[in-house]
Amino acid sequence: MINTIVPLYDRVLIQRVEEAESKTSGGIIIPDAAKEKTQIGLVIAIGNGRLMHDGKIVPLQVKKGDTVFFAKYAGTDAGEDLLIIREDEILAIVTK
């Protein structure tokens, strides 16, 4: 059993955020099995930064607690709602 996941370098641990809508505008209820996984998530942990060719580490632009939008097939599953992705697979920071 995994207790703690600490991403390395430019990798980010994201927890997918569930979308509230389970009905279409016409009133059709969408079952959980037919729903696509959301592309919006909450940053849970980040690595130290991107390792450059000269050995320097450049800090990441995202930080713990950011809500982000990421590519549809990005990263590697790290649990039921967890995903480890590289920072360059994050497309945007979502603000409310």
Domain boundaries, the chain: 11-20+31-94
Render pLDDT for 32-76 as a digit per residue (tens, 0 to 9): 665 667 789 999 999 999 989 999 999 999 999 999 999 888 888
Hey, what amino acid is at 67?
Answer: T
d(CA 73, CA 75): 7
Q: What is the pTM of this model?
A: 0.77
Whether residue 95 has pLDDT greater than 70: yes
CATH number 2.30.33.40 is the correct assignment for the domain at 11-20+31-94: yes
Q: How buried is 70 (Cβ within 10 angstroms: 0-12 exposed, 13-18 middle, 19+ buried)?
A: buried
User: 65's torsion region: left (phi>0), alpha (psi -120 to 50) or beta?
Assistant: left
| Predicted confidence (pLDDT) per residue in 14-29, tens digit | 999 876 556 556 667 6
pLDDT at position 32: 60
Residue 89: CB partners within 8 Å, gap ≥ 6?
70, 71, 74, 75
